[in-house]
Amino acid sequence: MSWTDERVETLKKMWGEGQSASQIAKELGGVTRNAVIGKVHRLGLSNRTGGATSAKPVAKEKAASKAAPKARSKVEVAAPETPPKPVHIRRQIIPAGQPLPPQPSANEISPEALASVREVEKTAKKIGLMELTERTCKWPIGDPATDEFWFCGLAVKAGKPYCEAHVSVAFQPMSSRRDRRR
């Protein structure tokens, strides 16, 4: 289907009369509603001027307001509300060797385990991501955005991804987790 001058004139006439894109497409035949909308925009007709649908409600409204004063409803008077802006919380990354902030599971980690972790981190191999294997501790240490980020790299505990010290901090006994839920 091509847009002949006759079809374009029909489109302009019907659009000016306030006909919908679906009605125009049906009248023209062989064209979709979306094709009509696209042509309307390409022709710059998107703002309807004096169409049948836009003039009548205004005239009725003016006539009604002259006949009897209308009480304003709360909806008309209320100012438009703007939705609140989303708040983005950015969590701080604690560098290696710094004390951890209080955490829900921190209550269950013994001070001895934390001291053990600090000692182990002093003797860690400090390996990079590409050096990790199934036998190296994958505990991340430091800020990933800096050059001082590394992984522990010590020998892992059997069946776990971390060394003995990091396993003691990462994994909690089942009974402790059950107690915490109550």
Dihedral angle sign, alpha carbons of residues 6, 11, 14, 16:
negative
Average pLDDT on 62-76 reads 51
Cα distance between residue 154 and residue 132, in whole Å: 10
Taking all residues of the chain, what is their mean pLDDT, rounded to a whole number? 75
What letter does residue 141 receive in the DSSP assignment? Answer: E
User: Looking at the whole model, is its pTM more than 0.85?
Assistant: no
Q: What is the pLDDT of residues 107-142, one digit of tens each?
A: 556 677 777 788 888 888 889 999 999 999 999 988
- State the Cα–Cα distance between residues 163 and 157, nearest whole angstrom: 5
Q: What is d(CA 21, CA 104) in angstroms, rounded to the nearest whole number? A: 59
- What's the one-letter identity of residue 131? E
Residue 15: which residues within 8 A CB-CB, separation 6 or more? 24, 40, 45, 48, 51
In the chain, the N- to C-terminal Cα span, in Å, equals 71
* Residue-wise pLDDT tens digits, 82-99: 777 766 666 666 666 666
Beta strand extents in 88-160 (DSSP E only): 140-141, 150-151
